[in-house]
Amino acid sequence: MRSRAVARPALAEAHRIALELGATPLRELIEGLLRRARVSLPTLAPERNGRRMPHRFKLTRREDEVLQQVAAGRTNRQIAESLFITEKTAGVHVSNILAKLDARSRTEAAAIALHEGLIPSANIVASPNARRPETLPVCARQKR
């Protein structure tokens, strides 16, 4: 156990440097070593200001990519096509994201992600079908 506690900071630093350098083979080697040693690193959020930041939602890299697409208003089919995965897999990723963010809808997930800084505001696209509050019936405005 002690050796893991000693190795973790060194491996974390090596992993960080490999990410910064874009050294994919080195990063993959370090990640393999981390898995074999059963040592975990904080989950990484998308890059902000050139640095990857840990976040509390523990999204995988693929879920981060899917979340960017969800926030851009894309359907599961569009997400699948752009990430070269099946539509079913895209749906599973979206379901996992909703669960991890404790969101009830894709829109709420995008709002949470924006609020938490997981996605840049430029990725948010207003739905063409969205209605402005002033155009809703009075009873619908009161519920909001």
d(CA 30, CA 15): 6
CATH number at residue 69: 1.10.10.10
Tell me, yes or no, whether 91 lies in a domain.
yes
Say how many domains are in the chain.
2
Q: How would residue 15 be classed by pLDDT, with cut points 50, 70 and 90?
A: confident
Q: How would residue 124 be classed by pLDDT, with cut points 50, 70 and 90?
A: low
Tell me, yes or no, whether 97 lies in a domain.
yes
The larger pLDDT score, comparing residue 8 to residue 44, is at 8
Q: How would residue 2 be classed by pLDDT, with cut points 50, 70 and 90?
A: low
Let me know whether 116 and 87 are in one domain: yes
The larger pLDDT score, comparing residue 44 to residue 32, is at 32
* DSSP code string of 24-91: HHHHHHHHHHHHHTT-----EEEEETTEEEE-TT---HHHHHHHHHHHTT--HHHHHHHHT--HHHHH
The whole-chain average pLDDT of the chain stands at: 76
Distance of CA 104 to the CA centre of its chain: 16
Digit-coded pLDDT (tens) for 54-111: 567 888 889 989 999 999 999 999 999 999 999 999 999 999 999 999 999 999 999 9
Specify the pLDDT at position 132: 46
Let me know whether 114 and 73 are in one domain: yes
Specify the pLDDT at position 42: 59
Burial classification of residue 30, based on how many CB atoms lie within 10 Å of its CB (0-12 exposed, 13-18 middle, 19 or more buried):
buried
Domain that holds residue 18: 2-41
